[in-house]
Chain A
Amino acid sequence: KAGVTQTPRYLIKTRGQQVTLSCSPISGHRSVSWYQQTPGQGLQFLFEYFSETQRNKGNFPGRFSGRQFSNSRSEMNVSTLELGDSALYLCASSLSRGPRDGAFFGQGTRLTVV
């Protein structure tokens, strides 16, 4: 069974631009969560999607948004990029809502804002 696939793996963007990251969950998994990882703040929860609806959101500004499609694939968007948005963005998929089944992570998208 294929794992969680995130594309692209690496991105370089200029301050003020916007970016879209993609995540394909494990087949059959319906919940997708996004995390930001930085050396200073560690791993921080961005949001969770289940059945095409955002179910939970972390403490991030409105520039960070996402969506989920009917096939459970998810995208996250960051608008008006700032230097501080440089991070590894990780997507995790789960069979259903809640942590009982465990969350399985992709390899991440490394975003660099210059």
Chain B
Amino acid sequence: AQSVTQPDIHITVSEGASLELRCNYSYGATPYLFWYVQSPGQGLQLLLKYFSGDTLVQGIKGFEAEFKRSQSSFNLRKPSVHWSDAAEYFCAVGADGNEKLTFGTGTRLTIIP
């Protein structure tokens, strides 16, 4: 069975500082990996996805993520955060032929001036 772990429940970062959100997955084959962002009271917005090819994936809003098979990780990064990045971030894993996504518990990001 597939699973996702986001070890950080809450992260606080200063505006303009760099950001890294951690995600570890468990899946037997090559996974499909995703990062989503959710603002309060809103749905999920897809930031980026990975399923093959270059292990460094570029997404929207200046985010990127790196797939490391040896560490079973898919960490999300941004070089300089903006106050509007404050939200909850979810990592998810999917499997070929199956629409079900398994989500991590999320990391809430707070931005301080």
Chain A residues within CB distance 8 Å of chain B: 4, 6, 31, 33, 35, 42-43, 45, 48, 50, 55-56, 58, 90, 92, 94, 97-100, 102-108, 110
State A30–B94 Cα separation when bound (angstroms).
Answer: 18
| Contact call A100/B46, Cβ cutoff below 8 A | no
| Contact call A99/B32, Cβ cutoff below 8 A | yes
Nearest chain-B residue to A49 (Cβ)? B99
State A6–B42 Cα separation when bound (angstroms).
Answer: 11
| Contact call B99/A97, Cβ cutoff below 8 A | yes
**12 A-B pairs whose Cβ atoms sit less than 8 Å apart in the complex:** A4-B43, A42-B106, A43-B90, A58-B100, A92-B101, A98-B99, A99-B96, A102-B49, A103-B101, A105-B46, A107-B43, A110-B41
| Contact call A43/B103, Cβ cutoff below 8 A | yes
State A105–B34 Cα separation when bound (angstroms).
Answer: 13
Please classify how large the interface on chain B is, using the bins under 10, 10 to 19, 20 to 34, 35 or more.
20 to 34
Which secondary structure dominates chain A's binding surface? strand
Given A42-B105, A43-B90, A102-B34: A48 in contact with B43 (beta carbons within 8 A)? no
Q: CB of B63 within 8 A of chain A?
A: no
| Contact call B99/A55, Cβ cutoff below 8 A | yes
Given A99-B94, A100-B96: A106 in contact with B43 (beta carbons within 8 A)? yes
For residue A110, which residues in chain B have a CB less than 8 angstroms away from its CB? 41
Q: CB of B98 within 8 A of chain A?
A: yes
For residue B34, which residues in chain A have a CB less than 8 angstroms away from its CB? 99, 102-103
Q: CB of B112 within 8 A of chain A?
A: no
State A42–B95 Cα separation when bound (angstroms).
Answer: 20
For residue A6, which residues in chain B have a CB less than 8 angstroms away from its CB? 43
Q: CB of B97 within 8 A of chain A?
A: yes
| Contact call B103/A42, Cβ cutoff below 8 A | yes
For residue B103, which residues in chain A have a CB less than 8 angstroms away from its CB? 42-43
Nearest chain-B residue to A3 (Cβ)? B43
